[in-house]
Amino acid sequence: MSTTRTRTPLVRGRVGELMPRRDAEPKVTGAFAYSSDLEAEGMLFAVTVRSPHPHARIAAIDTAAAVATAGVHAVLTHADVPGRKTVGMHRADQPVLVVDVVRYQGEPVVIVAADDLETARRAAVLVVVTYEVLEPVADPERGEVLRDVRIRHGDQSLGADVVVSGSYEVGMQDQAFLGPESGLAIPDGDGGVDLHVATQWLHLDQEQICAALDLPPAKVRVHLAGVGGAFGGREDVSMQIHACLLALRTGRPVKMVYTREESFFGHVHRHPAWMRYEHGATPEGDLVYVRAEILLDGGAYASSSPAVVSNAACFAAGPYRVQRATIDARVVMTNNPPCGAMRGFGAVQVAVAHEAQMDLLAAALGIDPVDLRVRNALKTGDRMITGQVIDGPAPVRELLEGLRAMPLPLERGSLRADLRELPGGVANTTHGEGVRRGVGYAIGFKNMGFAEGFDDYSTARVRVSLVNGEPLVEVHTAACEVGQGLVTVLEQIARTELGFEHVVVLPADTTVGSAGSSSASRQTWMTGGAVKAACEAVRERLHELAADRSVEETVEHHHRPTFPLDPETGQGDAQVALCFAAHRAVCDVDTDLGLVRVVEIATTQDVGRIMNPAQCEGQIQGGIAQGLGLALMEEIKTENGLVRNPNFTDYLIPTILDMPPVRLAISETPHPDAPYGLNGVGEPPTIASTPAIAAALRAATGRPVTRVPVRPDDLI
């Protein structure tokens, strides 16, 4: 599993090299400008008035007192939205500002711009919204079905000798990104606006802003500002339209920065899931069937729920060969917080279930859990449960074997242990008493790119000119650097293709064609592909390059077409490519206190091609941290539609002390369809890391552990 690399000593920083990212130092030293750090001459500050109720009818909005406040420049409601009053990724069902009915707690109702933040806040308090409170639909079982995906694969009458079943639950996880939603809108004095914002897909923002503002695309220019993490939570618009509305209304630049608490209401979360599974196998351990009923709570608006539920269904059986699959997955709408895209996108939830089921089945069969997985591992040429034949790499077996072969961390010695290595850490909870170790394995997979017939593409403009006789390469795309290191990789690609040292990746904006979203593990493949193709086109014309003549090419890169799923059977070639990663968790559990120390996570992941080793490892480490968070602590708690923990005191994410060393082995099976043979890297680490930890906890405690995040009381 390796690729040949061209070695050219001339230019450093090419594809495959460990090239340090340019934003690393400014980020570490605090010099990096995030979208919340922007300023403009004469700017106003904006705040949002949000509904405290998850479900209510608005009887009246009285803005008079706020408008009359000195220093206030605009107080806007839905009536001030000139164009389409709703937004949404899949369907425009979410009001820009609530029109009549509030559907979730924290929904924006009124926006206020004032000379300074304090004045804006005080004015916001003076806005009187009269609500007629309605009973929220908080129980997903009572929610209205937004989409259900049925998969009927194979002979539906097939039964099996060995059957195991279980019910599993996944809590609502938050992206918990570092930088709250924020941006700066600057009116151009000519009816148009420039928005600088932290986002994932500039053109989708532009499209939605244009619709709401009733402006043509040329009048709305969206520029990427410094992004403090995204993980899916910035795909839907948050403050984009609001800031633009206020800027155009006041004729002044408008800055809008959500507070940490608002941020919890400002973006969609990972869908909580309830799953009932049944697996049937032959006595030898061949999977015969997988039945699953999957319920996702999509909350108040559609967001990307229709696609998430499709993914949950398509990957419901895990990366295994099964003769028959009977999957019923549905996503419902309630008055809970809207859920949508988050790293792993539907594959995360089902992995918790299918991997627990594989362990149950292994136990029922008396087979080693890794052996069972290897025995049933999908490989190239096999059919997925959607009927799609996998023609790209599917190194499931290799990843599992590789993982199993990796050395285990040392057993705790008999010497007095270092407290920092024990569950509970330095808090003196144990010196080894009650501590039992467990090891758990899991593997997961998901698609790279968008599915089900979406024509996904990215655009790159590459220009070479001579500056003082030296070639300068400028790469311009609308692809969002969200922390994954894309800018560095694009630079490496241009250097590799053109062989010139001096490459500048221009700031991303909408003056070049769409790059699609920085999501679905797709951006290096798609925009990397576009940059590569544009460089190739430029290369063909390099002979034209002269002191007074630059060479420029703009190229769109599309991936191969995909197709919708059949609505009755869920069969169809819906996926572009698949990415896989396996995880082994070693956990020490204080079985008297329910405290967990994740001792180590080992992982094998196939990335097709390592474009930049440090960044590749960074994605894997970060993804595992997020998987660990879901396994052990991260959950947005709601009660009758109300969020109880919208802050980092009550919504806990792992600290560096909770994060174990990661032992990783990255393999490179080139993907024939992809530039450089690369594959998506960002999402797979979050998929199987969670179930691997759950499995280790089961092994250590003998407790069933059917719900994540696992609480201490689940383990004692």
Summarize as ranges the residues that interact with other proteins (CB under 8 A).
52, 105, 424-430, 433-434, 592-595, 632-633, 637, 639, 642, 644-645, 649-650, 652, 654-655, 657-658, 711-713, 716
Type of residue found at 284: E
Identify any residues that bridge with 57 across adjacent strands, giving them in sequence order.
101, 132
The least distance separating other proteins from the CB of residue 594, rounded to whole angstroms, comes to 7
Q: Report the alpha-carbon distance of residue 20 to residue 33 in Å, rounded.
A: 19
The least distance separating other proteins from the CB of residue 97, rounded to whole angstroms, comes to 21
The least distance separating other proteins from the CB of residue 580, rounded to whole angstroms, comes to 29
Helix (H, G, I), strand (E, B) or coil at 523: helix
The residues, any chain, with a CB within 8 Å of residue 381's CB and separated by 6 or more, are 389, 390, 391
Counting beta carbons within 10 angstroms of the beta carbon of residue 157, is it exposed (0 to 12), middle (13 to 18) or buried (19 or more)?
exposed
Q: Which residue has the tokens 């069972």?
A: 372
Angle ∠(39,40,46) on CA atoms, nearest 5: 70
Counting beta carbons within 10 angstroms of the beta carbon of residue 371, is it exposed (0 to 12), middle (13 to 18) or buried (19 or more)?
middle
306 vs 622 by CB, closer to other proteins: 622
Helix or strand holding residue 494 (H, E): helix 486-498
261 vs 371 by CB, closer to other proteins: 261
414 vs 649 by CB, closer to other proteins: 649
Residues 110, 111, 115, 121: is their CA dihedral positive or negative?
Answer: positive
The least distance separating other proteins from the CB of residue 657, rounded to whole angstroms, comes to 4
Q: Check if the beta carbon of residue 472 is closer than 8 Å to that of residue 502.
A: yes
Nearest Cα neighbor of 503 from 4, 11, 5 is 11
Tokens of 686: 């979050």
The least distance separating other proteins from the CB of residue 596, rounded to whole angstroms, comes to 10
132 vs 470 by CB, closer to other proteins: 132
Residue 3: Cβ within 10 Å count: 14
Q: Check if the beta carbon of residue 493 is closer than 8 Å to that of residue 473.
A: no
Q: Report the alpha-carbon distance of residue 462 to residue 451 in Å, rounded.
A: 28
The least distance separating other proteins from the CB of residue 427, rounded to whole angstroms, comes to 4
416 vs 543 by CB, closer to other proteins: 416
Tokens of 715: 């383990």
The least distance separating other proteins from the CB of residue 651, rounded to whole angstroms, comes to 10
The least distance separating other proteins from the CB of residue 480, rounded to whole angstroms, comes to 30
163 vs 716 by CB, closer to other proteins: 716
520 vs 662 by CB, closer to other proteins: 662
Helix (H, G, I), strand (E, B) or coil at 372: helix
6 vs 655 by CB, closer to other proteins: 655
285 vs 423 by CB, closer to other proteins: 423
Tokens of 184: 């700066």
